[in-house]
A and B are shown apart, each in its own frame.
Chain A
């Protein structure tokens, strides 16, 4: 399982007005992809993410897995499950190459064992 973690040296901020504006456009099915809604500063350079990037970025917490983030983002934008995970991984790989996040492999938690005992009345 892949668990992305933000580089703590990256400082960032959600551009609240622009984020709301982008969501408004998305709901009206207008173009929103070119609108920067989240600002990151890395080593003095300024970068912006669009709405999709921002929704992924804000869900990165060092605990949530790629699968969980993809599920939430896919639901937000009404995307197919398989496509979403691939797209989110592509985005994460891109920002990992820039050093903004690290992608850690986590063994994850095994599913709970099936109940074997008998319930007492």
Chain B
């Protein structure tokens, strides 16, 4: 599948009180007519700009979800009644339910190398709450590099141990939904919560640089927040112009292809190569296998792989 412009755009509006020309970025995103926009707001700068951003985005009519930290200022935002879905980033510790605003329906928790072992507690609290959705996104590599200089990708052993610990709790999630970004974590959790994780029959593989794009707080466009390959600035050019760059085309071609180690693997029909961002972060190659894949594979590529930088 190809798209004139991305279908889903994630935008980190602010980072440590830094942001670009927010209205211009919002306008550039709206011009691209995405079907979904995920806004990630982390501080005062983002809070103060939210109404202006939403006014700009509404011109294109996408479905908007806003990820907010569990701060008093943020919970106040939710009461203003903007026509968006709120997803509350609960951080890495359980005990979040009392801090959630009234009517909260969805939370988000990122299982990374430092937080993966908190997953059982988070799921347990979610199971007991009135919440409807728990989102488990992958690590935001662009943000992680800016914040700590490295990307805390969780190893498959850690993810598997966390999933096993969740299974040992004997929880059930009737009427609830787990939205799991990582295919292999999804697969592990699916065994425990078959009704809550969806069946992924519609899963079409990694969407980085094809259906999905990520915009950082300075207006730089990337194929995905897990794939820190900068494509260009949408402050300087339109999103469509940056999207139509040869670099994005090369990323999309590689994402659509089968990773070298997955040829002949029976699991490939399900995972379709997994997360290319994680592969890139682990190996430096976009066409390498997802490091979370538990299958045995050749230790080296059969040919020289091309890297994007």
A residues whose Cβ falls under 8 Å from a Cβ of B: 11-13, 15-18, 36, 39, 41-46, 48
**Complex contact A46–B4 (CB within 8 A):** no
Output the least CB separation between B270 and chain A (Å): 15
C-alpha gap A16/B32 in the complex (Å): 10
- With A36-B1, A46-B1, A46-B211: A13-B63 Cβ-Cβ less than 8 Å: no
Can you name 13 A-B pairs with beta carbons within 8 Å?
A13-B7, A15-B3, A17-B4, A17-B240, A18-B2, A18-B3, A36-B1, A36-B2, A41-B35, A44-B198, A46-B1, A46-B202, A46-B204
- Tell me the complex Cα distance, A44–B186, Å: 15
Q: Collect the chain B residues with CB atoms within 8 Å of residue A46's CB.
A: 1, 7, 202, 204, 207, 211
Does B33 sit at the interface, judged by CB under 8 A?
yes
Query: How far does the Cβ of A11 sit from chain B's closest Cβ, in whole Å?
Result: 5
Contact B3 A39 (CB under 8 A): yes
Q: When A and B form their complex, which 10 residue pairs have the shortest distance between CB atoms, in order from nearest?
A: A45-B202, A17-B4, A15-B4, A11-B35, A48-B1, A18-B4, A13-B35, A16-B4, A36-B1, A41-B35
Shortest Cβ distance from residue A49 to the other chain B in the assembled complex, whole angstroms: 11
* Docked complex: B51-97 residues within 8 A CB-CB of A: 63
B1 and A44 within 8 A (CB)? no
Which chain B residue shows the least CB distance to A20?
A: B4
Query: Given A13-B7, A18-B4, are A44 and B35 also a contact pair (CB < 8 Å)?
Result: no
Chain B facing A: main interface SS: loop
- The minimal Cβ–Cβ distance linking B227 to chain A, given in whole angstroms, is 18
A18 to B243, CA, bound (A): 14
Contact, CB under 8 Å: A43 / B202: yes
Asked whether A41 lies within 8 Å of B1 as measured between CB atoms, the reply is no
Within 8 A of A (CB), among B185-234: 198, 201-204, 207, 211
Min distance, Cβ B65 to any Cβ of chain A, angstroms: 13
Given A11-B63, A13-B33: A39 and B204 interface contact (C-beta under 8 Å): no
Name the A residues within 8 Å of B7 (CB-CB): 13, 39, 41, 46
Complex Cα distance, B262 from A54, in Å, reads 35
In the assembled complex, the CB of A50 is this many whole angstroms from the nearest CB of chain B, namely 12
List residues of chain A with CB within 8 A of the CB of B240: 17
- Distance, CA A46 to CA B4, complexed state (A): 14
Minimum CB–CB distance for A41 against chain B, Å: 6
- Looking at the assembled complex, report how far the CB atom of A43 sits from the nearest CB atom of chain B, in whole angstroms: 7
What B residues does A18 contact at CB under 8 A?
2-4
Distance of A15 Cα from B34 Cα, bound (Å):
10
- Which residues does chain A contribute within 8 Å of B1, judged by CB atoms? 36, 39, 46, 48
